[in-house]
Structure 1
Amino acid sequence: MKALLKIQMTGAAVLSFSILSACTNTKSNNASYAADSANKAIIEKTDSANNELAVKKDSGNKEALKKADSTNKAKKELKEDASKFLVKSYEASLFEIELAQSAIKHAANASVKKLATDMVASHKDMNGKMQVIAFDASFKLPGGIDSGHAKDLTDLEKLKGADYDKKFMDMIVSGHEKLADSYKEAYSDLSAGETKEYAGKTLPIINSHLEMAKKVKASLK
């Protein structure tokens, strides 16, 4: 079933999922905040349903109820950790894609353009995998980049030539350093499951991106 879902999460299906993932947050104009809030509500609803089921099954057994409550709380925390990692990673990857697409258009250096092209393809692949995991877990993902990242992109595109290239590479290196730390922590701390497995398989790719970016950055004059 999961294999079939992964095949179906292309074309129109991915577009539909992206639309469902989009959340409007008038309070902070922050796509990640909106997705985190939606996921928290989903997890709370599931947790409440589990507690109600436990009450019905063990209404006369206080010890069983206490144990069930403790188990549900632990599961809730694990789900929240996984959902927060997916939201953070997905938004960061969206930002890397937008940065790279900008560089393809505006960068002056050929190596920078080549790196940007590779980044777009790789991060789109990562986001496709995260969409499948989120779909399986009924989690929402950001419908776009956060307002802070949008401003960073706008500021970058005010630059031209070598100044643009240097700033872009600074942002790519910094961004992937943060991503590498986040993926490493997720793989270390998350419980066994699709999200942990994804983090472990993707961390080497993030590290590879980082090394390539450092080399291109060092080559710029």
Structure 2
Amino acid sequence: MAFLELPRRAMEETMFRYAGLGVLAALLTVPASAQIGNPAGLDADTKMSEPGVPAPHQTNNQDRLFARLAAAGGMAEVDLGKLAAGKSETGAVKDFANRMVTDHDAANDKLKQLAEAARMPLPEKPDAEHAAIKERLQSLSGEAFDIAYIKAEIVDHQKTSLLLQWEISLGEDAELQRFAAETLPGVLQHLESARNIHADLTGAAIR
């Protein structure tokens, strides 16, 4: 079954089950022909701001799913970052956690503005998966906490980078596509930093 033909819930579960394994990388690689404000799938009577360019915030199911997943993940990054900044005793981990709070807080605010303009409801708290991660981290301390937190960050940023590429390539809302394109480089930098910290903590690299 083609990825885009999956029901919304199955699509979400499939993305998150395989994102960390790289199975979706080929599917989600942004093609050279990807365009901002992809008009594919628009109804014939959809109003255009310019010939061939969709009016602002022409959202589809892809855009709305992207916004929900990105918002839940972004809130979790801030929440877990605050936890790690206060709990970790390792300078590199604390610095990374503080960066997660600052960077993702700014991205969350931007996404919220776009969602409000497009009248798309967003979740108000992190999802159950991230709540479980936080609960586990709260039970750890010292090096065990640092390693578990950084591992979770690696997985989350792998998933987020794929989610952003998915929106850039297949989204329909021009503003959300631009948001994804602007956010992706920072997420990839976060991922590389987390991998480097994990290698320093454990002596083992995660790619």
Identity of aligned residues (%): 25
Q: Distance in 2 between matches of 1:192 and 1:108?
A: 42
Tell me if structure 1 keeps the 8 A contact 2:88–2:146: yes
2:177 is the alignment partner of 1:200: no
Match of 1:177 in 2: 158
1:188 matched to 2:175: no
Question: TM-score scaled by structure 1?
Answer: 0.65
Could you say what secondary structure the match of 2:60 adopts? Answer: helix
Higher RCO (CA < 8 A, seq sep 6+): 2
2:130 counterpart residue number: 149
**Distance across 2 between alignment mates of 1:106 and 1:95:** 16
TM-score, scaled to structure 2:
0.69
| Deviation by residue 1:163-200 (Cα, 9 ceiling, x = unmatched) | 00000000001100000011011101112510011111
Bigger radius of gyration:
1
| C-alpha separation in 2, matches of 1:104 and 1:202 | 22
Secondary structure of 1:220's counterpart equals helix
Structure 2 stretches of 5 or more lacking a match?
A: 1-11, 13-41, 47-54, 203-207
Structure-2 change in CA distance of 1:69 and 1:94 (3 Å): closer
1:88 has 2:63 as partner: no
- Residues 220, 178 of structure 1: alpha-carbon distance in 2 compared, 3 angstrom cutoff: same
Paired residues for 1:114-125 under 5 Å? 114-125=95-106
> Which structure has more helix as a fraction of its residues?
1
Q: CA RMSD in A?
A: 2.3
Q: Cα distance 1:211–1:138, how it changes in 2: closer, same or farther (>3 A)? A: same
Name 2:34's counterpart in structure 1. Answer: none
* One-letter amino acid matched to 2:182: K
One of 140, 143, 146 as aligned partner of 1:159: 140
